[in-house]
């Protein structure tokens, strides 16, 4: 695992940083990436890592179901009132980039109902390498790929890999079984992203989500500064 730190962090701050009552709203971080790469597992691990120190909530996006929210509820990563589900009914990127109204309503409802919140994690439905979040919805975005999807993904690039504020290469524990070359993935990711950070993670190891949780804490420190 490695974590490169950019000099200035992501260019945070979408639309209004304040709620109608004048209080600072929660920092919103989006998690996107291909189907099955480990977005929900990363969200669950982040909730467990951060819930004792922060007030947080989660919005999940699924195309036709509420499966990811139901998984988080079953795992009891947060109290149920802090988990909201959006059924996109269309390509996942539509709801996080083009018509963000359902997601904006979900984050605002959470702040109204369980706020004040420090952090809201918004998980996109699994999508392709072009899917990115609107800056009107989230302040920073994490793109999650996994080693089993092929070690050529970083080389192929696309907006998620090249521009996300953090790239997570997940399931490193599977690399020996699927013949993925982690060194090659790191070189290709660096070539695509220059100074933007990359985390190699396995949620099956003790370190788990620690590096990503550290990155989230840094973004929050910037947000509240």
Ligand X SMILES: Nc1nc2c(ncn2[C@@H]2O[C@H](COP(=O)(O)OP(=O)(O)OP(=O)(O)O)[C@@H](O)[C@H]2O)c(=O)[nH]1
Q: Return residues touching ligand X (CB under 6 A).
A: 33, 35-41, 68, 126, 170-171, 173-174, 202-204
Specify the residue for token string 């999650």: 144
Q: 68 or 139, CB closer to ligand X?
A: 68
In SS3 terms, 132-180 reads as CCCCCCCCEEEEEEEHHHCCCHHHHCCHHHHHCCEEEEECHHHHHHHCC
The two tokens of residue 108 are: 């605002």
Closer residue to ligand X in complex, CB, 184/204: 204
- Of 127 and 139, which CB lies nearer to Mg ion in the complex structure? 127
Question: Shortest gap between Cβ of 204 and ligand X (angstroms)?
Answer: 4
Identify the bridge partners of residue 146 per DSSP, sorted by sequence position. Answer: 170
- What is the Cα–Cα distance from 70 to 86, expressed in whole angstroms? 12
Position closest to Mg ion via CB: 40
> Out of Mg ion, ligand X, none, which partner does residue 103 contact, by CB within 5 to 8 A per kind?
none
Which candidate, 164, 48, 46, 59, places its Cα nearest to that of 106? 59
Q: Which is nearer to Mg ion, 68 or 127 (CB)?
A: 68
Binding site for Mg ion (CB under 5 A): 39-40, 68
**63 touches which of Mg ion, ligand X, none (CB within 5 to 8 A by kind)?**
none
73 binds, among ligand X, Mg ion, none (CB under 5 to 8 A by kind): none
Tell me the residue number closest to ligand X, measured at CB. Answer: 126
98 binding partner (options ligand X, Mg ion, none; Cβ < 5 to 8 Å by kind): none
Contacted entry of Mg ion, ligand X, none for residue 132, CB cut-off 5 to 8 Å set by kind: none
Residue 156 interacting entry, from Mg ion, ligand X, none, C-beta within 5 to 8 Å by type: none
Beta bridge partners of 145: 169
> Which of 123/188 has CB closer to Mg ion?
123
The candidate with the shortest Cα–Cα distance to 182, out of 160, 150, 216, 159, is 150
Nearest distance, CB of residue 28 and ligand X, angstroms: 18
Cα 48 from chain centroid (whole Å):
15
Minimum CB distance to Mg ion smaller for 68 or for 188: 68
The minimum distance between CB 41 and ligand X, in angstroms, equals 3
Q: Work out the number of other CB atoms within 10 angstroms of the CB of residue 222.
A: 16
Burial class (CB in 10 A: 0-12, 13-18, 19+), 20: exposed
């Amino acid at each position: 695992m490695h974590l490169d730190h950019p000099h200035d962090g992501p260019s945070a701050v979408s639309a209004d940083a304040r709620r109608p009552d004048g209080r600072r709203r929660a920092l919103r971080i989006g998690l996107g990436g291909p189907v099955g790469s480990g977005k929900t597992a990363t969200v669950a691990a982040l909730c467990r890592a951060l819930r004792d120190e922060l007030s947080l909530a989660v919005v999940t996006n699924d195309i036709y179901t509420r499966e990811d929210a139901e998984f988080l509820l079953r795992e009891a990563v947060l109290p149920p009132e802090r988990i909201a589900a959006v059924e996109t009914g269309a390509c996942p990127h539509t709801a996080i980039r083009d018509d963000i109204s359902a997601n904006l309503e979900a984050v605002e409802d959470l702040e109204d109902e369980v706020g004040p919140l420090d952090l809201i994690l918004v998980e996109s439905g699994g999508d392709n390498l072009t899917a990115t979040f609107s800056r009107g919805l989230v302040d920073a975005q994490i793109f999650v790929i996994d080693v089993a999807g092929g070690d050529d993904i970083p080389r192929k690039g696309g907006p998620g890999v090249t521009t996300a504020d953090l790239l997570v290469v997940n399931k490193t524990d599977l690399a020996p079984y699927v013949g993925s070359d982690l060194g090659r993935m790191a070189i290709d990711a660096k070539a695509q992203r220059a100074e933007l950070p990359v985390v190699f993670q396995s949620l099956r190891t003790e370190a788990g989500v620690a590096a990503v949780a550290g990155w989230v804490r840094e973004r929050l420190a910037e947000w509240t500064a």
